[in-house]
């Protein structure tokens, strides 16, 4: 079965695997609220559809995602918990079936933080991860303020989240964010192969194993995501973020000297 919701998000179900493809290359796969809504809908349908046993999330071999669409941040800021971005984040963080991701090129902001909620992540050797929330006048989302220090330790989390420094595939592998590095042309195919292996396994035991592995973090992740969302929503309206977004649109460096 092949379906597509909006052209920027393609979904396709085959052999027990739902593949969700970010397809907005001209904007480096940056994600609009309509795209978050489509991804949240796809996850919801994958959750309830017995024909789907595994989900794959992928981008293009040149770019995974440039993160949230900055124009949307200015024009349609997600200010309430039912905003599509928060619906997507709640969906992916509590998704009960396995999720496999293939990541190549830039993975900015939510392009990196959504990976914290995937079970297997395969990266191209061109993958570049970054969480520049502070540089945008914002704070982390997707429970990354909890999961990133837990994953990589506080010192490296501080470089990634306070300085907003990018890190490449080798560091991501060493820190345990990703499973394997392959040539970019092979990442999507490897994710599919691994997803098919999972899809051939009994679903009940797979889901129970995932639930048990995630149980220790589940309540903290849910609580942290809602605390982050409240701060993030407020900061979107504040001068630092407005300056950062305007500077991005005007292709200049932001000036935070007055905020
Ligand atoms: N929102 C809206 N538009 C975006 C975007 C975003 N997050 N990221 C890229 N674009 C647009 C660019 O403005 C550019 O538009 P133009 O052709 O009209 O000038 C187009 O996509 C191509 O991007 P460009 O920056 O020229 O590509 P690049 O290969 O040089 O760099 C990135 C790729 C991802 C490193 C760079 O685009 C980037 O840093 N984007 C912003 C990331 C960001 O801060 N995201 C928010 C995270 S919370």
Looking at residues 5-32, what average pLDDT do you find? 97
Task: Assign residue 170 the CATH number of its domain.
Answer: 3.90.226.10
Task: Say if 191 falls within a structural domain.
Answer: no
Token readout for 136 is: 């945008």
Q: Do the domain assignments include residue 245?
A: no
Any ligand 1 atom below 6 A from CB of 132: yes
The tokens of 193 are what? 């192969």
Confidence band (pLDDT; 50, 70, 90) for 5? Answer: confident
Query: What value does the mean pLDDT take over residues 173-181?
Result: 98
Q: How confident is the model at residue 7 (pLDDT cuts 50, 70, 90)?
A: very high
Residue 79: pLDDT band with limits 50, 70, 90: confident
CA distance 247 to 236: 14
**pLDDT over 60 (residue 1):** no
**Ligand 1 centre from 251 Cα, in Å?**
10
Per-residue model confidence (pLDDT) at position 4: 58
Residue 30 lies in a domain: yes
Q: Kindly tell me if the per-residue pLDDT of 162 is higher than 80.
A: yes
Instruction: Describe the crossing of helices 84-93 and 33-48 by its angle, rounded to 10 degrees.
Output: 30
Q: Is 57 part of a structural domain of the chain?
A: yes
Q: What value does the mean pLDDT take over residues 211-232?
A: 97
Tokens standing for residue 149: 């220090």
Query: What are 127-153's pLDDT values in tens digits?
Result: 999 999 999 999 999 999 999 999 999
Q: Compute the distance from residue 28 Cα to the ligand 1 centre, in Å.
A: 6
Average pLDDT over residues 12-17: 98
- How confident is the model over 80-133, as pLDDT tens digits? 889 999 999 999 999 999 999 999 999 999 999 999 999 999 999 999 999 999
Q: Please tell me if the CB atom of residue 164 comes closer than 6 angstroms to any atom of ligand 1.
A: no
- Say if 218 falls within a structural domain: no
The range of the structural domain enclosing residue 158 comes to: 2-183
Question: Is the beta carbon of 71 within 6 A of some atom in ligand 1?
Answer: yes
Mean pLDDT of 15-39: 98
Residue indicated by tokens 């999720």 = 99
Tell me, yes or no, whether 44 lies in a domain.
yes
- Residue appearing with tokens 């989900």: 55
Q: Say if 231 falls within a structural domain.
A: no
Q: Is residue 15 part of a domain?
A: yes
Give me ligand 1 centre to Cα 68, in Å.
10
User: With bands split at pLDDT 50, 70 and 90, how would you rate the model's confidence at 3?
Assistant: low
Q: Return d(Cα 197, Cα 182) in angstroms, integer.
A: 18
37-58 tens-digit pLDDT:
999 999 999 999 999 999 999 9
233, 80 contact by CB (below 8 A): yes
pLDDT value at position 191? 98
Map residue 124 onto helix, strand or coil. Answer: strand
Domain count, the chain: 1
**Can you tell me whether residue 196 is helix, strand or coil?**
helix
**Which residue is it, tokens 């039912």?**
82
């Amino acid at each position: 079965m092949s379906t597509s919701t909006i052209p920027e998000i393609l979904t396709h179900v085959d052999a027990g695997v739902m593949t969700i493809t970010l397809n907005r290359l001209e904007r480096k796969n940056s994600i609009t609220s309509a795209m978050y809504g489509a991804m949240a809908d796809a996850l919801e349908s994958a959750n309830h559809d017995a024909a789907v046993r595994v989900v794959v999330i992928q981008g293009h071999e040149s770019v995974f995602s440039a993160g949230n669409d900055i124009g949307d941040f200015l024009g349609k800021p997600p200010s309430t918990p039912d905003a599509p971005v928060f619906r997507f984040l709640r969906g992916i963080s509590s998704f009960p079936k396995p999720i496999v991701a293939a990541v190549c090129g830039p993975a900015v902001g939510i392009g990196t933080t959504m990976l914290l909620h995937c079970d297997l992540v395969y990266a191209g050797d061109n993958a570049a991860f970054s969480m520049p929330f502070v540089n945008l006048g914002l704070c982390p989302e997707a429970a990354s303020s909890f999961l990133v220090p837990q994953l990589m330790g506080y010192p490296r989390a501080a470089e990634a989240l306070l300085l907003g420094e990018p890190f490449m595939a080798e560091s991501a592998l060493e820190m345990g964010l990703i499973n394997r590095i392959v040539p970019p042309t092979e990442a999507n195919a490897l994710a599919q192969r691994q997803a098919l292996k999972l899809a051939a396994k009994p679903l009940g035991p797979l889901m129970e194993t995932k639930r048990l592995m995630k149980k220790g973090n589940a309540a903290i992740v849910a609580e942290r995501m809602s605390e982050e969302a409240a701060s993030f929503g407020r900061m979107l309206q504040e001068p630092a973020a407005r300056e950062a977004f305007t500077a991005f649109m005007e292709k200049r460096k932001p000036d935070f000297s007055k905020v």
